[in-house]
Amino acid sequence: MSDVVIVNCTVADGRVVNGVEPIADAAVLVRGERITLAGPREEVLRQAEGATEVDLGGAYVTPGLVNMHTHLSLSLPGQGGEGVKGLNAHELALYMADGARRTLNCGVTTVRCVAEKDHADFALRRAIEAGRVPGPRVFTAGRALVCTGGHGHEGSDTLECDGVDGFRRGVRAQIKAGADLIKVMISGGIAGEHERIDTRQLFADEMAAVLATAHAWGRKVTAHAGPAPVIAEAVELGLDCVEHGYQLTPEVVARMAERGTALVPTLLVTRCKEFFDELGVPEWMQCRSLGAGPRHLESYAMALEAGVEVLLGSDMPPFWDFQGTSATVRELEYMSEGGLGPARALYAGTLGPARWLDADGDIGTVEAGRYADLVAMDADPLADTSAFRTIRWVMKGGRVVRDDRAGKANHV
Ligand SMILES: [Zn+2]
């Protein structure tokens, strides 16, 4: 891999929320996999001896996006999901590898997987790290923990556990397989026919067992959770992140803000009728999902108001073509329009997730020492989050993986 110096661009990252201004007429020097200098062009060029120049033609450059709620082996009820469920182990691995490649191409350079089938995510991560298949950096929970018959029990992307011992064992089994974090389903959800969104699924002792075991091993815990009472209890027990949060209240968001519990709102899952139609998702699930939409958005607004840390996560496959862009970018637009605004949306899609993952020394900013995981787009993401629709160029670890500026369509 040759060293490159990226020129003719404006550089912005999530530090803008802390007053770090974008750099116009910037350059970024990349030696090997990492950024060694980012700043005003003249300054960077003085240090750029031996580097090949990459002219971005006036593009805006940000860190690659981090999608904090992904399932590369997702199978929802309905015929699309049945197709995925029917894949054998080899087919599943290849299917996930294809999803990983597509994900990277749409500018998502890191994902946090929060329930994947059969531990295939660990094989995928090893293959990506070894350079055998293109894909984003992968942080993964392995299989999600769920009570017997609980949310998502139908698939091999969950592990049924019961009681304190059962959940401890579940946590340890994921860590043994290589999990970076733990995902647990503490309430019902949209995709379970015999439950409601507000069905409590874990007892307090089970939740405490998950949290204490994971934390003892230095792993954070995120919970699929809808209703406020269950979330409130988990937050008091030390939960690190809430997924969805369909039915939050002012009281629970205040506690989340105080205790530093993050929220990945996944706004798309209650506003993606076209996606459900494409997969042949049954009527009951569509009704439950779309019916929960207004309350879901209200919960999100409450969280923003209270100062809860919100992070980008699509739940839908990150690369899915949806309403004219990728599911990831569409989600970020919804977050931005829902009250976050473009600067904080940029943070929520890059530096915020990097911090949650304790990976901000490696990813999340355009800064010396970080991996050169970068995207370039035609429009200004600080003026409008829809700028991410114009991503034309993607670099991961110093290697250009997509370049379709000037009519070129070179994808890995
Ligand atoms: Zn999910």
Res. 198: pLDDT tops 90: no
- Ligand 1 center to 25 CA (angstroms): 40
pLDDT band at 196 (very low <50, low <70, confident <90, very high): confident
Q: 340 pLDDT exceeds 90?
A: yes
Question: What is the CA(71)–ligand 1 centre distance, in A?
Answer: 7
Structure tokens at 389: 């629709």
Q: In this model, does residue 409 exceed pLDDT 70?
A: no
Expressed in angstroms and rounded, the spacing between residue 336 Cα and the centre of ligand 1 is: 21
Cα(152) to ligand 1 centroid in Å equals: 9
Distance from C-alpha of 304 to C-alpha of 334, rounded to nearest angstrom? 13
Query: Which of the 8 DSSP states describes residue 104?
Result: H
- The 8 Å CB, 24+ separation contacts for 257-260 are 257/306, 257/307, 257/308, 259/235, 260/309
Q: Are 356 and 220 in contact (CB under 8 A)?
A: yes
- Report CA(325)–ligand 1 centroid distance (Å): 20
Contacts (Cβ under 8 Å, ≥6 apart) of 408:
none
pLDDT band at 211 (very low <50, low <70, confident <90, very high): very high
Expressed in percent and rounded to 5, the helix, strand and coil fractions of the chain are 40, 25, 35
pLDDT tens profile 296-318:
999 999 999 999 999 999 999 99
Instruction: Judge whether residue 121 has pLDDT over 60.
Output: yes
Residue 393 has pLDDT above 70, yes or no: yes
- Residue 57: band (very low, low, confident or very high) from pLDDT cuts 50, 70, 90: very high
Distance 114 CA to ligand 1 centre (A): 7
Ligand 1 centroid from CA 69, angstroms: 6
How many angstroms separate the alpha carbon of residue 197 from the centre of ligand 1? 13
Q: Is the pLDDT of residue 410 over 90?
A: no
Distance 144 CA to ligand 1 centre (A): 10
pTM listed for this prediction:
0.96
Ligand 1 centre to CA of 117 (Å) is 12
Q: How confident is residue 412, by pLDDT bands cut at 50, 70 and 90?
A: low
Q: Ligand 1: distance of its center to the CA of 376 in Å?
A: 28
Average pLDDT over residues 283-296: 89
